[in-house]
Structure 1
């Protein structure tokens, strides 16, 4: 089953992080990514650009509204994600706990609801 590991943290600290090696990531993240790839569970993932570059879209009776940045002010911002394919949520939680960001932020583990099961031909 596929799960998203949503990385939430203090954006100012995430943006201040420096690239530590030729991979473009810290040694901790490089090791974590390598472990997931070696285990064959990594489907994908990316670091997100800062919220200052984001837009939030809302549609209502008055039309479409586009807001700069995230809609809600929060202490932690969504900074990136991994999609993994593991047998169950317990294993997904174990991988989330290994994520370097879990030491200073929150990793939300969210099951994926496959679109292919909901598409009507």
Structure 2
């Protein structure tokens, strides 16, 4: 068995670097740790943090292939973030031009959650703690 310590990061390839950078920093509130342009690949790599932790690598590549990306598709299902107030979070998303799904209830924990999509249709969940 591996002796895993924690999640190190999540890597996301986006189709429009500036649009996704704005989404992850201005809408979701990630902070930029480091941004580099890799000229040999014509690619950006943006390291993003949340609450003093390194969490997401956002990449740009020219013409990345599309991926099926609904929460029930095979593969990565979604990214989930904890929030304290689901209604306030939904109100902010709507004000930002994002349409979340209706609130659902986790039948086992009785906690509320919703889904919305990033600029490349990657499902993101907000889970009320």
Give the TM-score normalised by structure 2.
0.29
Name which one, 1 or 2, has greater alpha-carbon Rg.
1
Give the TM-score normalised by structure 1.
0.30
Query: Of Structure 1 and Structure 2, which has the larger fraction of its residues in helix?
Result: 1
